Amino acid sequence: MCRFIELTILLLVIVASLTATDAWGSSGSICGHRTYNPTFSMCCAGRVVSKPFNGACCGTQAYDTRWKICCGGRVLSKPFNAACCGTQAYDTRWKICCGGRVLSKPFNAACCGTQAYDSRWHQCCNGRIC
């Protein structure tokens, strides 16, 4: 009898998740154990959050990808030609990421460990610019 009750409860949970409705009575989506309307909300790491235009998740936070970037789990202002270097955002036209550090970008930029150099005039020798 206990096995029958367990299977019945499991079946009810599955059916409920397939037929989930939101507060407006329309079919919704599931986030963790909650239903939500995907038109207005989104699920970020098991948390229902308001959905911005061009929404994306950064951990449990939602952000607009036109103006923000997610670097290392942090939502930051998005520079032009954006890239991440650890938890920092930078503009790849003027900066380079070497060994987790954002540095000024020389012509013909290359990295040697945590230093940037101009590869026309120098090279990297055993982790040192020579």
Q: What is the pLDDT of residues 20-69, one digit of tens each?
A: 444 444 568 999 999 999 999 999 999 999 999 999 999 999 999 999 99
Residue 63, classified by CB atoms within 10 Å of its CB into exposed (0-12), middle (13-18) or buried (19+), is buried
Within 10 angstroms of residue 32's Cβ, the number of other Cβ atoms is 11
Of all helices (H) and strands (E), which one includes residue 3?
helix 2-18
Per residue in 70-108, pLDDT (tens digit) is 999 999 999 999 999 999 999 999 999 999 999 999 999
Of all helices (H) and strands (E), which one includes residue 98?
strand 95-98
Question: Where is average pLDDT lowest: 15-19, 33-37, 53-57, 115-119?
Answer: 15-19
pLDDT category of residue 126 using cuts at 50, 70 and 90: very high
Q: Is the dihedral of CA 37, 42, 46, 47 positive or negative?
A: negative
Q: What is the pLDDT of residue 5?
A: 44
Q: Is the pTM of this model over 0.85?
A: no
Within 10 angstroms of residue 122's Cβ, the number of other Cβ atoms is 16
